[in-house]
Amino acid sequence: MQRERVADDIYVFTSDLYVQVTAGVVVTSQGAVVIDTLAYPEETRLIKRFVETRLGTTVRYVVNTHFHADHTTGTCFFEGARVIGHAICRELLDKRGRQSLEQAKLTAPELREVSLVLPDMVFEGGMMSLHLGNKTLQFWSTPGHSPDSIVCLVKEDRTLFAADTLMPIPYFVDGSYDDFVESLNRLRNNNYENVVQGHGEIILRGEVEEKIAEDLDYLYKLRAAVDMALVEAAPDKALEAISIEQCGKSRILLNGAAPQLHRHNVLALASARREPAQL
Ligand SMILES: [Zn+2]
């Protein structure tokens, strides 16, 4: 696990074990806020130990940016902390998260100590703020990667935890293409000091706008390619031929996991674009 300090009071942890998933810690004068946990208990435990022994404070809140297991599995290790998430996150964790955790436990012994914890502080609308000590955290809804996705801005430092709304390659299979485009557009021109992606490297001030533009470009190129493929004589073959490179992304992203995510994107978008024609 890598640890980086992105501001005086903000730390980011990046997993070595699962596709560069990230977690954050914001330290305030009245305790710490953990933004997402890591996929494996051993890594989340290291974060907890770092906060308690190295920073000498306790975790008051855990934020679930969305229900996916690689971000939420470690919530249970912060006993006594309140858990913040979107109302839809609570619903999805309760249904799909509970089920997939039980299944995962059958093949991954290291997950047997994990128990499901649901967010107890949820917001339904677009936005919520948390005032803790000397810090203000603003959360807002950014559906697209998943319907429950949120981002978190530490206002005083202008650090944005974008979660999976920004990752090396946009991934919308559990969410919606159109929502993703809208959520990305809403992240533009906000003068962030740095942006923490849900997976992969931290994006620095001067690179944020370019990164968002690149992700939108990928999504537009992907949609154009899928639409062209769907009118070919053999659409399935044409869909299969849509490469990640022609949509402007590299296959080495995310330690080589990017082409697989791209393939899932192609199929998900194709089925969404086919639907209206079938009506
Ligand atoms: Zn995710």
Give CA–CA dist 186/180, Å, rounded.
10
pLDDT band of residue 180 (cuts 50, 70, 90) is very high
The CA-based diameter of the chain, rounded to the nearest angstrom, is 64
Residue 21 identity (one-letter amino acid): V
Considering only CA atoms, which of 223, 274, 273, 270 is closest in space to residue 248?
Answer: 223
pLDDT for the residue 279:
47
Q: Is the pTM of this model over 0.85?
A: yes
CA of 279 to the centre of ligand 1 (A): 31
- What length does the chain have? 279
CA of 232 to the centre of ligand 1 (A): 32
pLDDT for the residue 265:
98
pLDDT band of residue 126 (cuts 50, 70, 90) is confident
pLDDT band of residue 20 (cuts 50, 70, 90) is very high
Residue 165 identity (one-letter amino acid): T
Domain boundaries, the chain: 2-206, 217-278
Considering only CA atoms, which of 40, 122, 45 is closest in space to residue 79?
Answer: 45
CA of 238 to the centre of ligand 1 (A): 28
Residue 116's Cα: distance from chain center in Å?
19
Give the right CATH number for 2-206 from 3.40.50.1370, 3.40.50.300, 3.30.230.10, 3.60.15.10. 3.60.15.10
Q: pLDDT tens across 76-87, in order?
A: 999 999 999 999
CA of 231 to the centre of ligand 1 (A): 31
Angle at 272 between CA 266 and CA 274, to 5 degrees: 95
Residue 208 identity (one-letter amino acid): V
